[in-house]
Structure 1
Amino acid sequence: MTSTPPAITDAQREQARLIWDYHQMGQQLRPADVAIGLGSHDLGVATTTAGLYHQGLAKALVFTGGNSPTTAKVFPRGEAVHYAEHAITLGVPEHAIHVEPHAANTGQNIAFSRALLDQAGIHPTTVLLVTKPYMQRRSYATVRKVWPEVEVVCASEDLAFEDYVASIGDERLVVDMLVGDLQRVIEYPRLGFAVEQDMPGDVGAAYEALVASGFTSRLLT
């Protein structure tokens, strides 16, 4: 019989909020040459990207992403394809959308999007990068490494931690994802995948405490 994981404590929830806040860059949105929506399980990325188009903040959109074990059932034709279809239902004209359906990780999202735009004769100097709320910082660090020539501003769906938990329906899973992404922020620069990011001491302490408490299902092995 499978045991039920213990309920999250108030202290652990506060530690998770610290990490949640750290993951978000808090950058001021401004017009850019292109907006790139990074594929994932979260359709809110496509909704946010479409909203940026309607606000006049980007004239060209890229949706990037193939499939992963966590998205294959939800988006059987690939993340980018479903994102593009969703954006079209929200009123974005098809001619404004470029679809990159092959990327399998964040580095490929950026590199393949860059190549796709180059093929289309689009050479941006400014990029709006649209991600899940807790993936802003890692994505930003990846762009700075993979495509350092562009100026990048991160955007995501405007949700509080509690609202995002409610949208996913599994608080423990969300905390696991926050911890897993923070580990990547820490480790990826050493692997050459991203630039280093400054991290406040209380965020590092929250990370260590949550790992010690067993929030490890999304950690690199």
Structure 2
Amino acid sequence: MISTQAWADAQLLWDYHRMHHKPRTCSVAVGLGSHDLGVADVTADLYHQGLAPVIVFTGSTSPTTQARMPRGEAVHYRERALELGVPDEAILVEPRATNTGENIEFTKEVLAGAGIEASSVLLVSKPYEERRSFAMMRKLWPTVDIVSASTSMELEEYADSIGDAPMVIDMIVGALQRVLVFPGRDLAIPQDVPQDVVEAYERLVWQGFTSRLMPTEAKT
């Protein structure tokens, strides 16, 4: 059972991770692969709002997604977007990336191969990955403007939708670790992390929400 304190700490991290950007028209929408098909839903909705003329779904599989998305995250995202009425010609698929750095680099290659020059990106992720993804994009693709986007669900509703609240909190904690560590690895720009967020992160680690923490040698 998750304690009241753990939920409160997770909420602090959740609120910090979200960038609170207002969606606006961009050159392309990029849906970052994950276990959460809701990323595809949000990306499709942004497309239908006319905020991007083309979508790139990027992602292979991971231990988390192998069973849920055996054909690959980007492929499953594409299939979901097609179900939601996005035309096939508006979707590009990048099926190789196994981490966020590759998501970014391989997406640039796919767009270049399609002859699409992007000056701005609607970057669609899970809610707790907004800040880390933004910081990595600013470092690894500094020539584009970035607008972060994710579902509007709040924490407990989101955890219910995933069906595994401890895993969601583990991932929130892992995302914060990467915000803290990646600038020192030249993978992201630094972010100001308030002290109360750091303290909440440390309490959650102490309580054992650690399955998504990376060892020092881990990839992105």
**TM-score, normalised on structure 2?**
0.96
Question: Over aligned residue pairs, what C-alpha RMSD do you find?
Answer: 0.8
In 2, the alpha carbon distance for the partners of 1:136 and 1:151 equals: 14
Q: Deviations over 1:56-90 (max 9, x none)?
A: 00001000001111111111111101111110111
Whether 1:214 and 2:208 are equivalent positions in the alignment is yes
Deviation at 1:25, TM superposition (A): 0.3
In 1, the alpha carbon distance for the partners of 2:46 and 2:102 equals: 23
The 5 A counterparts of 1:50-199 are 50-199=44-193
In 1, the alpha carbon distance for the partners of 2:80 and 2:4 equals: 37
Counterpart residue type for residue 56 of structure 1: G
Q: Counterpart in 2 of 1:4?
A: none
Q: Counterpart in 2 of 1:38?
A: 32
Counterpart residue type for residue 110 of structure 1: I
Deviation at 1:170, TM superposition (A): 2.2
Q: When the two structures are aligned, how many residues end up with a matched partner?
A: 215
Q: Name the SS of the counterpart of 1:88 in structure 2.
A: helix
In 1, the alpha carbon distance for the partners of 2:157 and 2:81 equals: 22
Percentage of identical aligned residues: 56
In 2, the alpha carbon distance for the partners of 1:205 and 1:34 equals: 37
In 2, the alpha carbon distance for the partners of 1:68 and 1:41 equals: 9
Unpaired segments of 5 or more residues in structure 1?
1-6
Deviation at 1:164, TM superposition (A): 0.8
Q: Name the SS of the counterpart of 1:121 in structure 2.
A: coil
In 2, the alpha carbon distance for the partners of 1:130 and 1:50 equals: 10
**TM-score, normalised on structure 1?**
0.95
Runs of 4+ in 1 over 6 A off after TM superposition: none
